[in-house]
Amino acid sequence: MTEIAIQNDRLVELFTTLCRINSPPREERAVVEYVKGFLRGLGLELREDNAAHAVGGNANNLVATLPANIAGAPRIFFSAHFDTVEPNPNLNIIIQDGVIRTDGTSILGADDKAGMSAILEAIRIVVENNLPHGQIQLLLTVCEEIGLRGARALDLSLVDSDFGFVYDTGPPIGTVITQTPTHDTMHVRLIGKPAHAGVEPEKGISAIQMAARAISQMKLGRIDAETTANIGSIRGGQATNVVCPEVVVAAEARSLNRQKVEAQVAHMTQLFEQAAQEFGGQAIIEIDRHYEGYTLTENDLPVQVVRRALSRIGLDAPMRPTGGGSDANIFIARGLPCCVVGTAHQKIHTHEEFVLIDDLARSVDLTLAIIQEVAAMR
């Protein structure tokens, strides 16, 4: 593959255009249409699934296919997600000294539009220069930020790839996530009994007291090097003169070790049930396996390809575990081998989010190098 100089101005224009399209979860239609137009202009075959119905949104996942122009190479995919963690309809982008950020009043949306723009620009370069490549699919998902819902709903009959790369973690560029936790969520209803708090409080059963008793005894936060747990929200109560009859608690536990997450959930469950029993109330607990963890090594093919591609362009990046999840967790669980690859977004999910233009360009270089490595595998 001939070395291609990245056109930074064009790349920045693509990235900032994507960021300026407001696309919170369930409202991604405008950015999906923009990307469809971009890829249609490059001659890719476009298919949408029916994810909008499953996620309760206005947009589907998009699967775009660039047919191979050489024979015998593995079929690969690149993936990123359309949605941002929160709306940013009044986005004010500031570009200064090689850094792209906002004025601090909103997120930038670089999670995951930095990953998406690197993929799109690389595909544009491949098509414009007729570079040799095997079949390449783009799996572009909705509703990643609210539970990987788009990936869960992806119609796998549209996917025809051997393995792939999910662009959805931060620098250094090319970082490979080798281990992620198993993540369980808990929905807990603590049911007591209402009574007038000033006239006959002894006839009531306070769900708030039940919650307080249970939570005060729980191991929470950092449990050990592999395990965390958290109480995310508590809702309940109507007025100070009513003994609170019901509280709803949202909680979670994660661990790189599946047995540890199950033990932590059992610990939390036991304390909620004990507190309810002590006060004469009831605990109704629903536990959901949010996603399964995975472990990759240097022997896994997607990891091998990324490491060789990094070497080809003179970069090095760590292989590391993470405490979070991504669409890759769902893809791997559904039988699509892949790895998460570091891209340009930094300080994600905050109004301090930013991107270095040099990192954006390196992401494109890496994507082209991955395509080159795969083409050489025929």
Question: What's the Cα-to-Cα distance from 288 to each of 57, 72, 184, 259, rounded to whole Å?
Answer: 22, 42, 6, 15
Contact call for residues 283 and 274 (beta carbons, < 8 A): no
Q: Read off the pLDDT of each residue in 192-210 and give the average, rounded to a whole number.
A: 97
Number of CB atoms found within 10 A of residue 314's CB = 8
Q: Are residues 159 and 249 in the same domain?
A: no
Instruction: Quote the pLDDT of residue 190.
Output: 98
Instruction: Quote the pLDDT of residue 6.
Output: 87
CA distance 47 to 29: 14
CATH number at residue 250: 3.30.70.360
Q: Are residues 281 and 314 in the same domain?
A: no
Instruction: Quote the pLDDT of residue 5.
Output: 79
Q: Are residues 130 and 28 in the same domain?
A: yes
The pTM is what? Answer: 0.91
Instruction: Specify the higher pLDDT residue, 195 or 4.
Output: 195
Instruction: Quote the pLDDT of residue 1.
Output: 44
Instruction: Write out pLDDT tens, residues 227-260.
Output: 999 999 999 999 999 999 999 999 999 999 999 9
Q: What is the CA radius of gyration of the chain?
A: 24
Residue closest to 326 by CA, chosen among 141, 157, 119, 97: 141
Question: Which of 291, 307, 339 is the endpoint of a domain?
Answer: 291
Q: Read off the pLDDT of each residue in 39-44 and give the average, rounded to a whole number.
A: 98
Q: Are residues 193 and 319 in the same domain?
A: no
Q: How many structural domains comprise the chain?
A: 2
Instruction: Write out pLDDT tens, residues 272-283.
Output: 999 999 999 999
Is residue 83 annotated as part of the catalytic site, yes or no? yes
Q: Are residues 148 and 55 in the same domain?
A: yes
Q: Read off the pLDDT of each residue in 210-225 and give the average, rounded to a whole number.
A: 98
Q: Is residue 62 part of a domain?
A: yes
Is residue 145 annotated as part of the catalytic site, yes or no? no
- Is the model's pLDDT at 115 over the cut of 80? yes
Q: Are residues 61 and 48 in the same domain?
A: yes
Q: Is residue 268 part of a domain?
A: yes
Report the chain's mean pLDDT, rounded to a whole number: 97
Furthest C-alpha separation in the chain = 83
Q: Read off the pLDDT of each residue in 73-80 and give the average, rounded to a whole number.
A: 98
- Is the model's pLDDT at 41 over the cut of 80? yes
Contact call for residues 176 and 341 (beta carbons, < 8 A): yes
Q: Are residues 282 and 297 in the same domain?
A: no
Which range marks the domain in which residue 86 is found? 8-180+293-375
Residue closest to 211 by CA, chosen among 186, 236, 230: 236
Exposure of 116 in the CB half-sphere (CA atoms within 13 A): 29
CA distance 60 to 346: 27
- Is the model's pLDDT at 2 over the cut of 60? no
Identified catalytic residue from 27, 49, 83, 168: 83
The DSSP secondary-structure symbol of 202 reads: G
Q: Are residues 260 and 306 in the same domain?
A: no
Identified catalytic residue from 27, 111, 112, 144: 144
Residue closest to 215 by CA, chosen among 230, 237, 193, 236: 230
Q: Is residue 1 part of a domain?
A: no
